[in-house]
Structure 1
Amino acid sequence: MPGNPAVPIAGNRFCIVGGASLVGSATAAELLDHGAAEVVLFDNFAFGSDAAIAHLRDHPRLRLVRGDVMRMADLLRATEGMAGVLQLAAYMTLSMDRDPWSGLDVNIRGVQNALEACRASKVAKVVFASSNATYGYGPGVAGELVESTPFHSQGAPPAAILYGATKIIGEQLCRDAHRKWGQDYVVLRYSTVYGERQHYRAANALYIIETLEKVRRGESPEVFGDGSETKHFVYVGDLARANRMAFESAATDVAVNTSGPAPMTTLQLVEMVTELAGGGPAPRFVGNAPGKVRLTSGGAFRIAHEAAFAAIGWKPEVDMKEGLRRLIAWRDSNEGKAA
């Protein structure tokens, strides 16, 4: 598929696989705002929800296609005539913990199916949603995490390692497609995504919602360990912009981090949520609940996003306090209460 890897948004058609989601709905709005001729949201609604896309349903250039990444015929219909495909559909860690076999199917065979459909439909460019889970979890994850940082698995929950491993495999399937038939692609390694229309599928993002709800009930929010554990978040609007810029850029055959402006500790996060919620009880320091999947990061680390700026011109713009303020305002809105 020779030619310029850049795919302009205006006038082109795009398919978002796993589109009825937090990132999918935000990216659809971003592409429509920049003149996309059509955006197709492809989803089987196993994890996606009508609430996530309710604000877009009446848009004249948006089309919803119910389908499954495990059915090639569904993907072929959805990708026909598309200039770009954003591959989001995946089991995340909490879902992988409940049903690892289905998670492996969707996160590996589902990605391969999507890539094969893109080849058949002559899609110009694929953007693959990977994760900072490709670096693993535990004590080995420390310091500056750059795109060449190796995978660490010691001491982490099996579901988290299975999830990270499937993202590594998905990236390599993209590389293989580029090598074998010239499929242009960009891999974006998302940090934990948060923002309006927040879902309940990501362990670290769920922690934000759980903390907010405890504070609102007048209960002490829980802080695990001594609160010094590092967490990395990226605001969903920034990530939607990264997805758009990945299509528009001349970059191909690359994988880059898309992280928020700065890391923060668990204690800082809880204190910030409490402050933005209008105050509440002091946090309670607790140990780990038996059997509960929780992603421990190990030592202090920073997920570097400078390579994303070099490759696609992107850097995060929304800091954590502003992003949390927007999330809480949405939760307090009529739409947020109904979600």
Structure 2
Amino acid sequence: MGGRGMATIPIAGGRFVIVGGASLVGSATAAELLDAGAAEVTVFDNFSLGSDAAIAHLKDHPRLRLVRGDVMRMPDLLDAMKGADGALLLAAYMTLNMDRDAWGGLDVNIRGVQNALEAARATGLRKVVFASSNAVYGYGPGVSGELVENTPFHSEGAPPAAILYGASKIIGEQLCRHYKRKHGLDYVVLRYSTVYGERQHYRAANALYIIETYDRVKRGEAPRVFGDGSETKHFVYVGDLARANRMAFESAATDVAVNTSGPRPVTTLDLVRMVTRLAGSDIAPEFVGDTPGQVRLTSGGAFRIAHEEAHRAIGWKPLVEMEEGLARLIAWKESNEGKTS
């Protein structure tokens, strides 16, 4: 850790850049920072994966600046970060996109992070928060029990795209460490679980499952459960993550990587039952086998992603239980904004 308070950035009056900001987490974090009194929040995105819909509710905010730019173009990043205090690095290909375009994914997840860190260094930013993932622990039978911050990476038997994604996040974390050691750039790494909530996108395999289940039930079809439904899923509500991002900037913590997971794991069957109930139905689920070659819900055995270290480092813990978060997501989906986006 640096000297006490040195890595602290007060949100009120601060200027922040959210790289990959036209996204679920990006829009929620922008709102969180603006509500806490940030002087300016710059949403930086190339809109290849992000969407205008994700930030439509914010675009007229007087302290929000929208910059169309690409992490693969250094001048774009340098322009966006000039005069900023902190940057949240969200831009990334996730597993489904990595499966379609591994080349592009490695470019964005590795070179893009390197570019963003270099721009942060060159413009004198005080702190970077890097969005990593619990994918840094890998996939497969080796991933079990308590997943804590020093759990090793497991790759046996997992789809290449999932391993490429997890490995790219490990490299991103190490680039942050490298910039701290070489240039003194303060950083906090947050290892997100699967994010869900209002303005849900359709890109993450696990989060997509929530929406697909809801859509099926609303059509009067039985929701599908893969296997016996005992597989564990780890979700975290988007509002809780937005708070974690803010607290990472505000805290004196630096040179740390911590898990930011939801209150507790949920099994596939429990998840499907919750969504069915919230959709106003009691239709029984249909148990189905896996489709060979399909990249779908990633997980494994029963494990828990421990978030106690995040409380020690930045004072954060998750507050929103899964059923409450799902109720908020569904209320949004049924609202005018959710229906038109």
> TM-score scaled to structure 1, two decimals?
0.99
Match of 1:150 in 2: 152
> Distance in 2 between the 1:332 and 1:271 partners?
19
Matched, 1:293 2:295: yes
Q: Is 1:9–1:35's contact at 8 Å kept on the other side of the alignment?
A: yes
**Cα distance in 2, alignment partners of residues 137 and 278 from structure 1:** 34
Displacement of 1:280 after TM fit?
4.0
Could you list the runs of 5+ residues in structure 2 that have no partner in the other structure?
A: none
Identity, in percent, stands at 80
Instruction: Provide the residue aligned with 2:225 in structure 1.
Output: 223
SS in 1 for 2:109: helix
1:302 match: 304
Q: 1:17 aligns with which of 16, 19, 35?
A: 19
Match of 1:201 in 2: 203
Give 1:33's aligned residue: 35
Contact kept in structure 2, 1:218 and 1:280, CA below 8 Å: no
Aligned to 2:55: 53
Which residue does 1:89 correspond to in 2? 91
Q: Which residue of 2 aligns with 1:5?
A: 7
CA distance in 2, matches of 1:316, 1:330: 21
Paired position in structure 2 for 1:76: 78
Aligned to 1:15, the other structure's residue is in SS state strand
Corresponding residue for residue 42 of structure 1: 44
The one-letter code sitting in structure 2 at the alignment partner of 1:37 is: A
- The C-alpha deviation readout for 1:185-233, integer Å capped at 9, x for no partner, is 0000000000000001110000000000000000011100000000000
Query: How do 1:1-339 and structure 2 match up within 5 A?
Result: 4-339=6-341
Say which is worse superposed, 1-10 or 232-241, in terms of deviation: 1-10
Amino acid aligned to 1:98:
R
CA contact (8 A) 1:69 1:106 kept: yes
Give 2:136's aligned amino acid. T
Over the residues paired in the alignment, what is the CA RMSD in angstroms? Answer: 1.0
Distance 1:296 1:13 in 2: 36
Deviation at 1:295, TM superposition (A): 3.6
Equivalents in 2 of 1:217, 1:94: separation in Å? 26
Give 1:296 shift.
3.7
Cα deviation, 1:126-162, whole Å, max 9, x if unaligned, reads 0000000001111111100000000111111110000
How far apart are the structure 1 equivalents of 2:340 and 2:99? 28
Contact 1:127/1:243, CA 8 A, preserved across alignment: yes
The separation in 2 between residues aligned to 1:258 and 1:31, in whole angstroms, is 18
* Whole-Å separation in 2 of the counterparts to 1:280 and 1:220: 10
Give the Cα–Cα distance (whole angstroms) in 2 for the partners of residues 93 and 312 of structure 1. Answer: 28
User: Which structure 1 residue ranges, 5 or more long, are not aligned?
Assistant: none
Secondary structure of 1:187's counterpart equals strand
Give 4+ residue runs of structure 1 displaced > 3 Å after superposition: none
Partners of 1:165 and 1:280 in 2: CA distance: 41
Contact 2:206–2:298 (8 Å) recurs in 1: no
Q: Is the 8 A contact 1:93 1:163 kept in 2?
A: yes
The 2-side partners of 1:243 and 1:96 are apart by 25
In the alignment of these two chains, the number of paired residues is 339
Cα offsets for 1:286-318 (capped at 9, x unmatched):
111122102442210000000000000000000
Cα distance change on mapping 1:140 and 1:295 into 2, 3 Å: farther
Q: TM-score, normalising length from structure 2?
A: 0.98
